[in-house]
Structure formats: C-alpha cells, structure tokens
Amino acid sequence: MNDSSAIECIERPRAAWLAVWPIALTALRLVFRRKLFWLMLGFALLNFLFVFGAIYLLATLKAQQPEIGKMLSVMLPDLAGTGKTFLNFMLAQGTVTMILLAFAGSVLAGNDHLRGGLTFYLSRRINVLHYTVGKLLAIVLLVSLTTTLPALVLFLEQGMLGDTAKYFSENYNIAIGILGYGLLISVTLGLLLFALVSWMPRPVPLVMSWACLFFFLPVLSEILSKVFDDRQWRLLNLWRDIYAVGSRCFGEAAVRSRDVAQLSEAVVVIVVVCIVSFIAIMIRIRQQRHQS
Amino acid sequence: MAPLFEIESLTHRYGSVLALDDLSLSLKPGAIGLVGQNGAGKSTLIKILLGLVRHTAGNVRVFGVDVIKNGVGLRGRIGYMPEREGVVPGLNGIEFVALAGELNGMPRKLALRRAHELLSQLGLEEARYRRLENYSAGMVQRIKLAATMVHDPDLLLLDEPTSGLDPEGRTAMLLLLKSLARRPGKSLVLSTHLLGDIEQVCRHAIILEKGAVAVSGTLDELLAGQPNAFLLRWKTVSDKADRDFLAALQREGAEATPGDEFGQARAVVSEQWQTQRFFQLARECGVTLTGLEPEEMDLRTVYCRLVGMDSASPPVIGFANRDESGVAAS
Amino acid sequence: MSSESTTMTALAEVRNVSKWFGPVMALNGVSLEIGSGITGLVGPNGAGKTTLLRLLTGQIKPSLGGIDVCGRDAWSPRAKDHIGLCPFGDATWDELSGRQLVRVTAGLRGFTGAEARRRAEAVLETVGMVDRANRPVRTYSKGMRQRIKLGQALIHDPDMLVLDEPLNGVDPVGCEELNDLFRTLAAQGKAVLVSSHILHEMDQLADRILFVCRGKLLASGPLEEIRDMLDDHPLKVRISCESPRWIGPQLLTLESVKSVSIETPRDLLLEVQNPSRFYAEFCEFAAGNDAQVQRFKATDTSTEAVFDYLMERAVRPE
C-alpha cells in the first residue's frame, strides 16, 4: 500500500479546480448510461439530420439548377442560411433539450441528494463551489451537445457548400450568435435545473415542476397577457425571454420587432432567475451537509 | 510527535440543538475509537473535523491546520467513510474509486492505477466492472473503504465500517482495519457502537456524552481492572457446592462476589495470594474450575457504567474480548 | 450435528424443509426444533437465514417438507397468532407516533376499542417506551425504533418471537437493555429466535444456537455441546504462568493434553481432548503444584470460533 508515486502525488496534489472536470464527466457518463437518453438524443438528431439534408439539398439545387433553387429559397426563408435559420433551428432543438433535461436532471445531480452521493463529493478535496460548477458544466455540455454543436455544424456546412470565404466573412456574427444563444440557454437552464434538482431530487416531481415551468407557465402567460391586455405578463414565459435575448446575439436583423420593447425586461428576468437559482442551490447544499 | 487533533472549547449549535458543548481534546496520532449514544455529538464532531460543517465557537486544528481556514487542503489528507450510502450509483467499481482519487487531487492515470490495486487488495477484482447497485452489502463496505483510502490519507475517519457485514465479512474488515491502524505515521478514528471492534482495533478510546468528552484514555488504562482481582469460572455441579466454594473463598480472605450466571465469581485478593489456593479450595468443595483470569474490564461495561446504567446490577463477568492471540498488543 | 435436551417442548418444528426460488436452492433439507428460551440463528449472507425466518412466520411456503408453529401449519392464520416478527430495517410509517403505530398494529391483529388500547399500553410498558411514545417515529433513535418494532411484535402476546438483527445500529446501553428484555421474555416461557451477525453477542445471550450455511443446518444446540462435538478441533487452552518451560512438560504428562506449545515467555497454548477430563486433571495438577498460574482459559469456545470451525468443515470437500 505504500506506493511511492502515491506519496509523490500527495505531496504535490493538483489544484482543486481540476476536479471540476471529473465531476462533469461522471455526471455525463451516468446520463449516457441510460437508454432513455439515447432515445431522446435520437430525436434531437433527427431534426438535425433533416435540416442538414435540407441545407445540402438546397445548396446543391442552387448550384445545379439555380431557378428551382431560388424558388425554393423564397418558399422556405427559414433555410436561407441567415441568422434566422440557426436561431429557429436552435429553438426547435431547445425544445427537445428541455424535455431531455427534465429526465436527465435526477441522474445528473438528483441521485447525489437521494443516495448520499453529496457526502461522497463534499468530503473530498473540493468545496461546495467546485461541486456546483462541475455539475453545471455537465448540464452546459449536455445542452451544447443538442443545441450549440449541431447549429455550429450546420453553420459550417452552409458555409462550405457555398462561397466559403464570402459566407464566413459576412456571417461571422452568426457564429457568435450561435455560441451566445447556446451559452444563454445552457447557463440559464443549467442553474434552474440544478436548483430544482437540489430541492426535488426525485424524477417524477422534477419532471412535473419542469413541465410546469416550460409548458404550463407559457400558456398561463399568454392567457394572462390577453386577459389583462398587458404584454408584461408574457415575461413569465422564460423560454421566450431566453429566445428574445438570444436573438439579439444574432444581430439586429434577426430580432422580431415586437420583441424589442421587452428586451431589457427579459434580460432582467433571466438574470433574476439565475441569481435566485444559484442562491437556492447554495442554501440547499449547505442544508444537506448537516444531515446524513 | 505532532498532535493529530487540537480541539479547544468546541461548541456547536444548529437550530435549537446544542450538539457539542465546550469540548476540548488533544490527541496524538494513532488508532482511536469514538463512542457515544446517538445524539451525543459523534457525527457532528466528525463533520466538523472534516471541515464539512462550520462550528459555532472554539478552535479546531487537525495536523496543526485550522479546519475552517484550510478545509479543502485538509480533506486531501483525510479519508471519510460514512455509515450509510456514500456511493454514486450508476458507476462501476473502478470508476467510483478512480473518481474518489481524482477528487482528492490525483491525476487520472494514477487514480485508475491505485483503484485497480486497491480493488485487488480488497478482494473485489472480479467485480471491478460491475455497477455499484449490483454490489452486495459486504462489497459496498469494501468499495467505500477503497474510495476512502485511494489517496493514501494520513487520517481515516470510519463510521460503522462493519455495518451490515456477515461474520466472515466482519472478521476480514477488522483484520484489515487492524493492519491499517498499525501503519506508522497514519491514524484512524473508528466510530462505532460495537465496542468489541474498538477493543480489537484501537489503542485509545474517547467516550462522548451529551456533547462533551466523558472519558478519553488508552484502552490499557480504561480497561485495567482492579489489581489483584480475578475472575473465576467453574462447572456448576450443585448449588451447595457453589455456595461452599464462595464461602471458602471468603474465609480465606478473598472478597468473592458471585457473577450474573451460576459458575462465575469475582475475587479480590491480597498481594501475597497464591493462585494455587483457588484450585485447592475448589478441589475441597468439589468444584472444577474451567477458567481463571486477572480482571480486565471490557469496554462495554466501562461504557454502560459511565453512561449510568443500573449500578445495583452485579458485575458483568465477560471474559475480555481483546486480541485473542494473547500476544500483548504492542 | 445436533444436541438437544429431550425435555424441551418444541414451539416450532421444521421437518425436512427445502425451498428453492427458481434454480436457486435457499434451504436444503433442514430439520430443527425451536423451544422456549433464546435461540440464536447464525450464518453467512446467503445461508438461508432470511428464508427460514420467512418460512417460520408464514410469509412463504416450503417447496418440500412442513413447518409447524405451536402445532399448526405455519402458513395458516391460526399459527400466525402465536408468532411475532420484528423485521430488519426501518420500513414503517414514520410520521406516526410510536403509540399510534402500536395501536394500528393492535387493530391489524384484530383487537378493537378498549382491548386494543389496553394491549398497546401494556406493550409500551414492556418495551420501556411509555413516556416517549408520543413523538413521531421519524425522530426516534435506532434503539427506540427497535423497541417500537418489538412492541408491535408482542401486541398479540405470541408464544414465539422472531427477531431479525434486533441490535443493528443500537448503542451499547440500548443493547444491554434490549438483551435484558429478551431474557425476560424468554424467562416467561416464550421462544425468542434472534438472527444476528454479531456473534459475540450470542455468547452471553443465546441458550442454543442454530448454525446455517448454504441452505443447510450445520449444527444446533447449546454452544458448549456443539464445541464438544467438534472432535477434529481439540480445545485450545491458554495458560499464563511464571515458568512455562517448567510447567509445560509436566502438563504433557496429563492424558487429556494432546500438545503443548510455548507461545510467549509467559504463555502456553495447549491442545486438549476431552475437555471435562482435562479440567479435572488440570485442577488437580494446579492444586498440587505451585505453578503460579495467572490465567487459564479456553480460547476457542466462543460463538465466533465455533462458527469458523463449522464453516471450515462445510467448505471442505467431503
């Protein structure tokens, strides 16, 4: 048991922050071990493949039979290769991602609260912050895998199938938009999910509250804004708020005019949600430490 | 030798509960047993030593380092094995132990290598790639121990390590703990209700009662019986023979008190007493002795007496549960 | 291997019972009797202990053979009136108070109204929880939970009590108190069957022990008698004295002594056949010679030692 290399590593252990990566990787590994998630990923992939194929087809048509290509471009503005294309693609992927997260939540972090995994983590050479960041990183990576990454791939595809240099130099802001929107989705949803999971680690309550936030609440917000004839109620729809801010990342052209007015309020809502989630997480973890 | 713990006036409250009350303790490195009723403050103390919980008042230093100021660094030198759960279901044995290593600052390759080594040493080689939820109770305890030891900590904090193990498992675990306890420069704190385990593994014992230290001493000190006191056992032939024997002992000047069951007695004799006399008296009364031993307390008796069990009950004559090899625990 | 005194009245009788679950044989041709007093049930995990307990309490039926409790088939409702189970674990409605739990159990057993209340209070008195029974079980320590479980098992005043790891997680004082309680119940003529992994508890507690391994009954009876029957393991006796090198050879002259080895400069380890003869011979020797014996004790008569020997035997190929 007295291994000299072990003694060596004790005398010079790595920085605690490097433990964040194994935490994230482990969480992801646990998610990917469940067959349910492969199914959901499959759905996300389907949409991606469909758009991938459509872009390819369109580009081929444009090159070989320009008239048909132009006609189709007009009919399908969404696939034009503008910022809008990617924005809407990510919106659609985002929906699948939301559902995925609802079920992944308990595997990613919920089990730690249920089965004493939290003690396992916190009694090591890390503190609460490292643990939280590790888990958030896992969620961010998962979300990126279903939204940001496919969007980037499509962006590259679009560029490479046309006039590469011209496309990329004109549309580099799309890349920024993709990354920005992706980051916004992952961080906001990540914090929110982690907060919910900390307080409701079991899968069923988690799915229900998640569904409440992202299906019930939007419906409610529409109804309320119609009933009170006040657009402020729409801010309750978090997903829409994220979309509004995210679309800003793609530049002016992508923004829907009627959303402009509410932009600053949407930002406020998102920031508040993030801060409250973070605080909730910290409170809950500190609470848990006293138990077990 | 640098002290292991230095605890001064430790007080801890949470909510309306006073978990630890002005507790002070200073211990040298070694194998230490921690005993106490549920609610006496054992688990709170352990969590404070780990730096998981910030105490309300007082100073706590482990290895000379303040637990609040440097909790993270300190945890790299401590290994904690909790009583319940403490595993990450969904991972297999190797992944779990390697993760534990990485979380303690080991690079991945080293952590994996150590994980494989430890699993072999603990007899879990065949189950390495099996998921933790498919492990039996005994295997779970062993894998938790592996995760606790992977980074070669200077201090092991073990909470009920034999919980849920069958007799073979317990024996194996205790043997392992004994060998861990004897490593030079390493310490072990064993928190358990099974006082026999502490007698086998530890050299020092601390008894907590109502959030403070009731007793702290080496096992030799705590379990020392009264000098010149012997415990006798014999086969009961008849009530009369038993009574005669006890009376004969009394006559000879040995204070003899009968034990819980028939055929047992405790005799306190003078310095000059020859043990041959026990046998002679027994022969005279027609009694055959089957056991003779200088009185050694067992930890449970010491503990129960301390925590205030019925003091009117007769002395419990349990022949000591110490290391049965007979070779004095060095 | 069995050693039973013929005067014991059997409260439970297991006749050549075998039980398998699919292809797995949990119990294989087990026959035993359980009478009043405290009986220990000991064995490694997977030995069939839990299966045996479930068969006795009528939760499952044997594949072959029969089990009677107080003269009735264990599966029948009548038999269940005579037996109480204190199961392993904490699965219960812990938002209820101890008192409420006991009353619910009384109701489940068919008692109503004043009778139920009376029994509940009586049982809380027996287990020593009268003053603490109004708090929810969730707030109880392990020891207190065990007592409530015991109370639930005793509510119908059964003749036989089956306990699965009753001292698990209980603090030492609680252990002593529970052990006293078991002894009291046994003294009332009940059969108390304790299944436990903590073998040294059995030394002081159990009148008889059942050793099981791999679905077979290895031995049953009082510990000393089982030990005596292990012929291939002569009794080991340790003797501490001033001059072992002088005493040792003299002890070899005793007929019952098979071998003498010098363990340390102050200790002798003897292997002995026929323990009763040895004790007689040795006492004679010690009475006649000033051997300055400080310690004289058999080292392998504990439940743990006997268990090891039996397991060795069980694993050895025939």
Facing residue for C176 by CB, picked from B136, B283, B309 = B309
| Binding-site residues on chain A for chain B (CB distance < 8 A) | 1-3, 5-7, 9-10, 13-16, 18-19, 22-23, 26, 29-30, 33, 107, 111-112, 115-117, 119-127, 289-290, 292
Confidence check: pLDDT of C4 > 60: no
CA distance B163 to chain A (A): 15
Kindly tell me the burial class for residue A241, based on how many C-beta atoms sit within 10 Å of its own C-beta (0-12, 13-18, 19 or more): buried
Are B276 and C297 inside 8 Å of each other by CB? no
Q: What percent of chain A has pLDDT over 70?
A: 87
- Rounded to an integer, the average pLDDT of A134-138 is 92
Facing residue for B75 by CB, picked from A9, A14, A123 = A123
Confidence check: pLDDT of C6 > 50: no
Chain C residue at shortest CA distance from B324? C299
Chain C residue at shortest CA distance from B272? C292
pLDDT for C190? 93
Are A13 and B105 inside 8 Å of each other by CB? yes
Q: What is the mean pLDDT of chain C?
A: 89
Chain C residue at shortest CA distance from B291? C297
pLDDT for B323? 39
Give the number of other CB atoms < 10 A from CB of residue A207: 17
Facing residue for A19 by CB, picked from B90, B103, B121 = B103
Question: Could you read off the pLDDT of B72-104 as tens digits, one per residue?
Answer: 888 999 999 998 878 888 899 999 999 999 999
Contact: chain B with chain C (3+ CB pairs below 8 Å)? yes
Q: What is the mean pLDDT of chain A?
A: 81
- Rounded to an integer, the average pLDDT of C3-28 is 82
Q: Chain A within 8 Å of B64 (Cβ-Cβ)?
A: no
Are C293 and B292 inside 8 Å of each other by CB? yes
Confidence check: pLDDT of B149 > 90: yes
Facing residue for A289 by CB, picked from B53, B86, B183 = B53
Confidence check: pLDDT of A200 > 90: no
Are B100 and A124 inside 8 Å of each other by CB? yes
Chain B residues whose CB is inside 8 A of the A36 CB are none
CA distance B21 to chain A (A): 17
Are C283 and B289 inside 8 Å of each other by CB? yes
**What confidence category does residue C8 fall into, taking pLDDT thresholds of 50, 70 and 90?**
low
Confidence check: pLDDT of B211 > 70: yes
- Rounded to an integer, the average pLDDT of C287-295 is 86
Q: Chain C within 8 Å of B171 (Cβ-Cβ)?
A: yes
Chain B residues whose CB is inside 8 A of the A15 CB are 105
Q: Chain A within 8 Å of B42 (Cβ-Cβ)?
A: no
**Beta B155-159 vs B78-81: how paired, if at all?**
parallel
**What confidence category does residue B319 fall into, taking pLDDT thresholds of 50, 70 and 90?**
very low
Contact: chain A with chain C (3+ CB pairs below 8 Å)? no
Question: Could you read off the pLDDT of C227-271 as tens digits, one per residue?
Answer: 888 888 889 999 998 888 888 888 889 888 999 999 888 899 999
Q: What angle do CA A273, A276, A281 make, to 5 degrees?
A: 120
Q: How many CB pairs under 8 A join A and B?
A: 120
Q: What percent of chain B has pLDDT over 70?
A: 93
Amino acid (1-letter code) at residue A135 = K
**What confidence category does residue B328 fall into, taking pLDDT thresholds of 50, 70 and 90?**
very low
H helices within C140-222, ranges in order?
142-154, 172-187, 199-205
pLDDT for B163? 86
Q: Chain A within 8 Å of B178 (Cβ-Cβ)?
A: no
Contact C132, C98 (CB under 8 A): yes
Are C297 and B293 inside 8 Å of each other by CB? yes
pLDDT for B317? 42
Give the number of other CB atoms < 10 A from CB of residue B313: 12
Are C169 and B193 inside 8 Å of each other by CB? yes
Are B103 and A23 inside 8 Å of each other by CB? yes
Facing residue for A127 by CB, picked from B14, B71, B87 = B71
CA distance B27 to chain A (A): 22
H helices within B61-181, ranges in order?
71-75, 93-103, 108-121, 137-149, 167-181
CA distance C112 to chain B (A): 36
Task: Name the β-bridge partners of B12.
Answer: B20
Cα–Cα distance for residue pair B23/B9, rounded to 1 Å: 5
pLDDT for C155? 94
CA distance B245 to chain A (A): 54
Chain A residue at shortest CA distance from B46? A123
Q: Residue B198: in which H helix or E strand, if any?
A: helix B195-201
Q: What percent of chain B has pLDDT over 90?
A: 31
**What confidence category does residue A79 fall into, taking pLDDT thresholds of 50, 70 and 90?**
low
C173, C223, C285: best to mutate for the B interface, most B CBs within 10 A: C173
Contact C147, C177 (CB under 8 A): no
B88, B119, B143, B159: best to mutate for the A interface, most A CBs within 10 A: B88
Confidence check: pLDDT of A7 > 60: no
- Choose among A265, A278, A250: nearest CA to A81: A250
Cα–Cα distance for residue pair B191/B163, rounded to 1 Å: 11
- Choose among B296, B301, B318, B315: nearest CA to B257: B315
Chain B residue at shortest CA distance from C204? B318
Question: Could you read off the pLDDT of A12-58 as tens digits, one per residue?
Answer: 677 888 899 999 999 999 998 888 888 888 888 888 888 888 888 88
Facing residue for C287 by CB, picked from B136, B283, B293 = B283
Cα separations (Å) of A28 from A12, A108, A134, A282, B282? 28, 7, 11, 22, 74
ipTM: 0.82
